[in-house]
Chain A
């Protein structure tokens, strides 16, 4: 059995969850990071972010997955929430048509605030409630294709496709990062915010973080 010390990873990827209130973002997060599901549907409180380390194409990836803290309920997500995110899960509830119709608005917000290279997956959650379905899977697939996004239906309750959703996003991010690394070697100059050392006041000692990929 391989033993890994904390913070021993090749890449840290920040992933954000967005979508309407009540679509199951927090349960997707807790299912992926702690393999837990909570039936109570309270608005998200107390969750900052959660992490999980996994292997993607031979690399050790630490996924840092951020939840909205309920700020999406009245459209008050901070622009800082999106900073540095390399991936996003755009979540709707297949039993509530309105949450699917709002995907367009969330996508616009994402494109306004996040890095243009962010990997986005559209997620239709609560597929276990097929008898209450109001959004056809084909409709989700069609919108995702139109917008150039990946798409999966998930059930956080039944743990269906949750692992696959994150694995797909992380793999896509890793491929982009690898290409970027090649391109970065060719073009000697780095991007604007890269110049000068970034200071993280929470880590006075370990400010030399290894391989943190944030845009």
Chain B
């Protein structure tokens, strides 16, 4: 039976009014194939995938809004989201071992730390939406786009282009990234020799991609002479680029701004961080097939209007259309096991209600009880994220822009690339005349990571107190010098990264350090395959066929 219990501590984020809901609903039915807790992108895609193959699904979230760690938060609620209060006491945890069940408590933890804010939040704070996954985009040819199309989620999300393209920070200046042959042709900052080298390189890569896809189509003898030899594909990409005669700046363009490599490829020691030619070309292939995929999209990247939480909402809606049950403001507080703790039976909701299920999937903010999963005591990877509100575009006349700071471009100790994604009001994430910029860099050393982010911020933006006479910033594709945008407000924080686990209890991946969702979706697919190895992941034609027009032609 439902009983009165403490409301979720996220009530401050609840836009639905001031009265606290003490009554939890009773969920009917009480048995499902799959229960998911958390509505981040991996959980939502899994809900859609399970519902699409006919599984019964209960999907709950402790928050009053969708998104979990993939949320889009009003700026006024960001600090409370990053530093939540202690979790409310679990209701009826004392009622253990009833009718041959063992109750194992589930607790949540904060995955964020080292929060630093500075500046004044501009009014109205409500008009700003902050993405917890930023900087993040979709490639136009991304698998995320295909999943949206297959599931029908594309009905629920609209996008805008990152139409300002990418800029590379190099030796104190911002340069446009020439990401296609046409862009190379038009670029005014490249020397003729650089253009020829880069053009030849892209031609080589395009020929390889075409030959490789011809081979995979099994049309027989693809033109083997245009494929890059295997020994080159296994080389570190940086070595391959050197073989092709690319000078350092061009190598930085290809590695960090097009292949989106994170770690310094010229550093001596970290061998496991070297990207192979094969991996680099994979991303270049995705990048180049993204340009021009949608007639109205400029460049390779698109961004969901209103923020990234629109994506999990879209997949959740697809699951609901297939019969999944949705409950917000409902934490899962415990696991139900058999008496010997050998078999998983279900989950206990905060209302005290027990739900039986064959599979429980939780988001990464839940601690995994030490049942059958050995504790991994190794250092966790982290990502430092920054959010800035600035007064004008980093690139004059552009709304949405990506800026890449290659490793060591800011200072010698910078071991990983820093990415900055600037968004404008055309995405409905901030008022007109202001911009939100997201930054991130992966790290194991938090203070070094934060230092890199701060350095990037100082490089691009002026502090508020500046009188405007200093801090001129040269954008080399224009003859005039632009004044730096003013930094109005900023927030830095650290987020830990885990990949997700299998077992009787599945934990979903956290937002990672990458610019896109390939890695997150790859892990999500693996989780689905581990539960339902014989089922297809979001089959084509999963999208509902809606009843189209009975035209009113009475005239």
A interface vs B, CB < 8 Å?
Answer: 1-4, 6, 33-35, 45-55, 62, 69-71, 73-76, 78-81, 83, 105, 108-109, 112-113, 192-202, 204-205, 207-208
Contacts and interface: CB of A to CB of B under 8 A. Distances in A.
Interface stretch (B156-164, B437-445, B472-480): B156-164
8 contacts: A4-B551, A49-B546, A53-B552, A75-B329, A76-B328, A112-B15, A196-B426, A204-B294
Interface stretch (B170-178, B204-212, B309-317, B500-508): B309-317
Interface string B139-174: 010000100110010111111110100000000000
Interface residues of chain A: helix, strand, loop or mixed (majority): loop
Given A33-B547, A207-B296, A196 B161 contact: yes
B155 to A, nearest CB: 7
Contact of A50 (B148, B157, B160, B546): B546
A198 B549 contact: no
A48 B544 contact: yes
B212 to A, nearest CB: 24
B197 to A, nearest CB: 33
B78 interface: no
Contact of A74 (B316, B327, B426, B547): B327
A74 B25 contact: yes
Contacts of A194: 426
Contact of A197 (B155, B160, B428): B160
Contact of A71 (B305, B320, B428, B553): B320
Contacts of B330: 74
A119 B88 CA distance: 40
B229 interface: no
A120 to B, nearest CB: 17
B553 A4 contact: yes
B284 to A, nearest CB: 22
Nearest to A194: B426
A51 to B, nearest CB: 5
Interface of B: 15-17, 25, 27, 61, 65-66, 140, 145, 148-149, 152, 154-161, 163, 293-297, 302, 305-306, 310, 313-314, 316-317, 320-323, 325-330, 399, 424-428, 431-432, 544, 546-555
Contacts of A52: 549-552
Contacts of B156: 78, 80-81, 83
A78 B553 contact: no
B546 A201 contact: no
Contacts of A113: 15
Contacts of B294: 199, 201, 204, 207
Contacts of A75: 25, 327-329
B546 A78 contact: no
A51 B305 contact: no
Contact of A51 (B154, B160, B317, B547): B547
B320 A70 contact: yes
A80 B431 contact: no
A70 B551 CA distance: 27
Contacts of A204: 293-295
A112 B548 CA distance: 30
A194 B160 CA distance: 10
B161 A50 contact: no
Contact of A201 (B145, B306, B551): B145
Given A109-B16, A197-B160, A48 B326 contact: no
Contacts of A208: 296
Given A46-B321, A108-B16, A200 B158 contact: yes
B90 to A, nearest CB: 20
Contact of A80 (B148, B296, B313): B313
A1 B553 contact: yes
A76 B15 contact: no
Nearest to B545: A48
Among B158, B325, B427, chain A packs the most CB atoms within 10 A around the CB of: B158
A17 to B, nearest CB: 14
A55 B316 CA distance: 34
Contacts of A198: 158-160, 296, 305
Contacts of A3: 553
Contact of A70 (B295, B325, B544, B552): B325
B425 A195 contact: yes
Contact of B317 (A6, A80, A200): A80
B552 A201 contact: no
B426 A78 contact: no
B159 A202 contact: no
Closest 10 CB pairs of A and B: A76-B326, A54-B552, A69-B320, A74-B327, A78-B313, A202-B154, A195-B426, A196-B426, A192-B425, A50-B547
Contact of A83 (B25, B306, B321, B549): B306
B161 A197 contact: yes
Given A109-B16, A195-B426, A200-B154, 18 more contacts: A1-B553, A6-B549, A34-B550, A49-B546, A50-B548, A53-B552, A70-B325, A74-B328, A74-B330, A76-B61, A193-B428, A194-B426, A196-B399, A199-B158, A199-B294, A200-B159, A201-B148, A204-B295
A54 B551 CA distance: 7
